[in-house]
Amino acid sequence: MRMKKEKLFAKLLQTPCCGNTLKLEGELKCQKCGSIYNYKNNIPILITKTQLKEDTKNIKTAKNSRFDFEENKFIKSLFPPSDTLRIVNKENALIRKLTKNGIALSIGSEIKSKKVINLDINPNMDIDIVADITALPFKDNSLDLVICQYVLEHVKDIKKAVSEINRVLTPNGLVYISMPFLQLYHPSPSDYNRLTLDGLRFLMKNFDEVETGIGIGPASALAWILREFVASFFDNKFLHRITLFITGWLIFPLKYLDLFLVKKKHAYILASSFYYIGRKN
């Protein structure tokens, strides 16, 4: 099998088990301990079997909160627009600023660029590599930019995740983090963390702060809460889902108030999320 971006991976990858050289010819094998990793659809699965089993179970549990027919393309086209309005979207600008040979890692999101390696724990995503953010399979000081958009809320050990991001970044490399503050429970596959802007700054204390701010504003937070509040009156799965559908169409315009509200002095008190851009010192 041939991996996507195979030549690039040959320079960057190491084993998540013991941080040693990874043999890419034929099977994926650790040159130190002999651990063997698999492929799926030509994508390397660089994650322990135990972790993969746990993540797969959690993904399935999260999916069970919806009906199978909701995955139909036509049905999806009827869904209301998102409750949230992303005011800030910095990743494309940061990628454009990379040098000719600069390499970025996008964790948990799919970015179409030759300079970007897309990573997720879900092997069914359109990504380049399956791995755990707390055990990134990249060599020290190997990446110029790490983008981590709305991922850390789903990670048990966020300190370990941030430490791993720091390890793989080159000196003066940049990290772009987006983190929820006032957002509802949304397992993907699990949901553990929320942070204030102060909390996000403290989490990233080992980086030099470049820029911070509101990522999603208070009107979006209110729209999401109102939609789920109405639906919460119904225990029946079908009634709960159909209520989310109806209220979604009624409530989503609220989010556009964020175009005005995010400029207000006290918007951070009720913000849906914050972002942080930092430089490895």
Q: What is the pTM of this model?
A: 0.90
28: closest CA among 60, 6, 58, 54?
Answer: 6
pLDDT band at 1 (very low <50, low <70, confident <90, very high): very low
pLDDT digits (tens, 9 = 90+) for 223-261: 999 999 999 999 999 999 999 999 999 999 999 999 999
**The tokens of 121 are what?**
């724990």
Mean pLDDT of the chain: 90
Q: Which domains does the chain have, with CATH numbers?
A: 49-280 (3.40.50.150)
30/193: higher pLDDT: 193
Q: DSSP state, 100?
A: T
- For 113-137, give one letter per residue: b (16+ CB within 10 A) or e: eebbbbbbbebeeebbbbbbbbbbb
pLDDT by residue (tens digit) across 28-42? Answer: 888 788 788 888 888
Angle at 262 between CA 256 and CA 268, to 5 degrees: 130
Amino acid at 233: F
Strands 273-280, 169-180: pairing is: antiparallel
Between CA 51 and CA 42 the distance in angstroms is 20
pLDDT for 65 equals 73
